[in-house]
Every structure is written in C-alpha cells, then in structure tokens.
Amino acid sequence: MIEHEWLWPGFLAFVAIILFFDLFVLHRKDHVISTREALFTVGGYVSLAMIFAAGVFYFAGPQRGSEFLTGYLVEQALSLDNIFVIALIFAYFQVPQEAQYRVLFYGIVGAIVMRLSLIIPGVKLVDQFFFIGMALGALLIFSGYKMMTSGDEMIDPGESRVVKFLKRTGRVTEEYHGSKFLIKRNGLLYMTPLFVVLVTVELTDLVFAIDSIPAVLAISNDPFIVFSSNVFAIMGLRALFFVLSGMMREFRYLKTGLSLVLIFIGFKMLMAHWYKIPSVFALGVTAALIIGSVLLSILLKEKADEEGVVDKTPEEEAAELRR
C-alpha cells in the first residue's frame, strides 16, 4: 500500500488546482465547446494520467502501476457508457450548449466527492471482511450479465422521482437563466432547469458508481490507487463528452465489451481468496476486451449501414420521450 503523509493532501490539492484552472481560466466564459478544443482537453487529461501512471510504476512498482492503469481504463470505459445517458438528459431538458460544460464540471466535482466518501471505507471493509469481497464480485458478475442482456432500453429523465419532486415544489423556473443554477425572485430562491439537470446528472453518476467502484475495488486494495485512477478518468469525462456524445451509438458492441470486463473482474474478485490474478494479466484482458469491442464496432459498421440499420441519436430519443 502506498503510504506517505503528504500523499493524500498533495493529490487532493493537485486535483483542486487542475479543476480551478480548467473552469476559471480555460473556461471562465460560457461558450460552445468545439470538437478541437475538447480533443485538446482530453489529450491534456490523458497525458496527466499517463505521467502519473509512470510515477506510480517508478515509485511503487509494476504491480501498483498495472493496478492504476487497469482501474483507469475500467473507469474510463464505463464512463463511455455514461456519456450517451448524459447526452440524452441534455437533449431531453434542451440544455443550451454553452451551459453544458458548466453542468458537467460541477457534476464531476460531485462525483469526486462521492467516490472519496465511498472508496476509503469500501477498501477497508473488503480487507477486513471476506464475505464483502465475495458479495461485490457476485454483484459485478450480475451487473455484467444485466448490462449484456438489457438491450437498448431508454431512460426517461422526466420520470425521475427526484425531478418530479423538485418540480412539485413550485420553485423551478420555466426558462434557463444562462449558466445559473439558482436565482432570486421577490426575495425567494428559485431553481432553474439547469439545477434540475445537475441533480439528474449526479443521480446518474451514482447509479454508474454502483458498477465502477466495486470494479476498481476488485482490481486493487490500495485506496489511493483506487481513488486516483477514478479521479483521473472522470476528470476528463466532460471534455470526452463533447468528442463522443454524437458517436456513442456507433460503438454498438462497446456495451458487450464492458459487460465482459465486469464479469471478468467479478470472477477475479471471487477468486482472490484462493488465487490472485496478476495485475499485468488483468490489465491485458481489460484492454483487449475494450479495444476489441470498439474495433469490432467500427469494422462491422459498414455492414450494418448496408442493411439499413439506423440508430437513433440522443436528440431523437429525447423527442420521443417528451411526446
């Protein structure tokens, strides 16, 4: 386990500085994020993650380094499946493009806090109680099976109980007010639709965390490795959203690949008491499944186009749900 008295405060300070620079320097003014800008941002976050991984390999050894890369890859891959859901939410609530980045930013800050509160006690519980590791392994296998057999079911953001509750308060404005989440009217505080969207995105991340956090706990028993790999993956998610949100339906076999990753990691966790699968092997299998599913999607896309199979965009699905 990586232990230095400066490690946690130093890493959290580093993350805070990066996020502050991102929002208040690079994106101080609300604007529509171009694909080129998003690609540069994604490249920056991936570069930071790889530099950090090199540091883990150097200072903590190849096992911890492999665990970090595997955790990062798994969280990044599961985040890809989350991107289409967020795109559907944005389309359903008709969020102005210039306000989308700010919603994602605060959504990711909330996700980091959520993971910090869940990962540290989660690692301790898995270490101390054998049956919890077994239960999480079984949960991952079930989640993988459920993901594989769920098909393309649409979620309806407007049917969320939390969304309905917020609207019933009578304190939600009908129109957006730029990138403001709250406004004052006649001395009373009102929520804008952007606040409702933020709450919906946070709830969506909580649902996805049920899969992603146990998956990374199955990869490493070091809370710092688990947390840092999660943080690096989700920090680049909002920029990745603007690159891939319109393309996710083209990766039709990605969900199958992610399902197999969850099932593999679940079995890894179940077997850990008797046999520990080497971290390097786990990294190779995870990478092969994710990259293979993406490549298969690209190679078979032309065949699907020839057969006239057309996937709906998030905007088209959102329009159906609003009817």
Model confidence pLDDT, tens digit, residues 13-28: 999 898 888 777 776 7
Q: Using the predicted structure, report yes or no on whether residue 52 has a pLDDT greater than 90.
A: yes
Q: What's the token pair of residue 278? A: 């080497």
**Among 6-10, 261-265, 314-318, whose mean pLDDT is lowest?**
314-318
Percent of the chain at pLDDT exceeding 70: 84
Residue 316's pLDDT is 56
Residue 133's pLDDT is 72
Q: Which of 92-96, 126-130, 297-301 has the highest mean pLDDT?
A: 92-96
Q: Using the predicted structure, report yes or no on whether residue 308 has a pLDDT greater than 70.
A: no
Read off the pLDDT band of 287 (50, 70, 90): confident
Q: What's the token pair of residue 263? A: 């099932």
Longest dimension (CA), the chain: 65
Residue 54's pLDDT is 94
Torsion-angle region of 255 (φ positive above 0: left; ψ -120 to 50: alpha; else: beta): alpha
Q: Which of 290, 292, 233 is nearest to 76 (CA)?
A: 233
Per DSSP, what are the bridge partners of residue 182?
A: 191
Q: Using the predicted structure, report yes or no on whether residue 53 has a pLDDT greater than 90.
A: yes
Residue 3's pLDDT is 62
Q: Using the predicted structure, report yes or no on whether residue 320 has a pLDDT greater than 60.
A: no
pLDDT in tens, 200-253: 888 878 777 777 778 888 888 888 998 999 899 888 887 788 777 656 566 777
- Buried (b) or exposed (e) across 269-303, using 16+ Cβ within 10 A? bbebeeeebebeebbebbbebbeebbebbeeeeee
Residue 69's pLDDT is 93
Residue 153's pLDDT is 58
Number of C-beta neighbours around residue 79 at 10 A = 22
Percent of the chain at pLDDT exceeding 90: 8
pLDDT in tens, 272-284: 767 777 878 888 8
Residue 212's pLDDT is 76
